[in-house]
């Protein structure tokens, strides 16, 4: 008789419903699936030997903020996070043009 060892880790499944037509078009273009209605982000391996539960709470909270801000989840969100935003590009451009003084 096989014994069952209970799992000691958790996963968080974050589902984003593509209610915004623009986000839905972008998701369809990204995925190649014209009928896409949801995107998913998974945070796994939450346990003391992986991602500690207290830290996972912060990671999940940050990811939720990213999902809402970018109106994307899963691979499309990660792709979006890699691209600098126009505001970030502008601030980097301004910072690189600002002279610094030597003390």
Q: What is the pLDDT of residues 49-70, one digit of tens each?
A: 999 999 999 999 999 999 999 9
Of the pLDDT bands very low, low, confident and very high (cuts 50, 70, 90), residue 7 is confident
30-64 in b/e form (b: 16+ CB < 10 A) is beeeeebeebebeeeebeeeebeeeebeeebeebe
Q: What is the pLDDT of residue 29?
A: 96
Q: What mean pLDDT is predicted for residues 31-60?
A: 96
Say how far apart CA 65 and CA 82 lie, in whole Å: 16
Which is higher by pLDDT, 32 or 95?
32
Distant-in-sequence, close-in-space partners of 101: CB < 8 Å, separation ≥ 6: none
Q: What mean pLDDT is predicted for residues 8-34?
A: 95
Q: What is the pLDDT of residue 78?
A: 95
Q: What mean pLDDT is predicted for residues 33-58?
A: 96
């Amino acid at each position: 008789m096989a014994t069952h060892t209970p799992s000691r880790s958790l996963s968080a499944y974050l589902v984003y419903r593509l209610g915004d037509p623009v986000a839905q078009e972008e998701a369809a273009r990204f995925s190649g699936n014209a009928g896409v209605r949801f995107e998913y982000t998974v945070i796994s391996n939450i346990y003391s030997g992986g991602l500690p539960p207290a830290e996972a709470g912060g990671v999940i909270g940050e990811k939720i903020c990213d999902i809402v801000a970018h109106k994307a989840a899963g691979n499309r969100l990660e792709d979006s996070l890699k691209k600098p935003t126009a505001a970030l590009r502008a601030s980097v451009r301004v910072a690189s043009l600002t002279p610094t003084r030597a003390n």
